[in-house]
Structure 1
């Protein structure tokens, strides 16, 4: 399909999102943007969150490690010399 930026720019403010960014998730009355917020919502909804403090700390560490790795990949992908 032929998609361009203008298609998103024309739609994003019509969705009723507090912060109209990609990705977004609309689940019933819940309208969520930002990758981590979406992932946390899905985990809570399906009872996948850590129950103990130790498990929750582990989740936080893994989330941040993933974000660090993702940022490094993004730097590489958006490098004009890539």
Structure 2
């Protein structure tokens, strides 16, 4: 269980919110068998607050594993 004290306070002003959106974020999921995860990033649902693009990407090892497959869009807006 995660203690709510582990998280910083939410931004309270537009300037703080804009600064928060400029920080780098990384999320990783790892599975040792076939999986079909579904992810929704609600923080990216307000485009008017963005002044920089968000990149995204996926990578996986196919079966049989010869090399990693990577799909990415470093200039996506969300």
More helix by share: 1
> TM class by shorter-chain length?
under 0.3
TM-score (norm 1): 0.26
Question: TM-score by structure 2 length?
Answer: 0.27
Compare relative contact order (CA 8 Å, sep 6+) and give the higher one, 1 or 2.
2
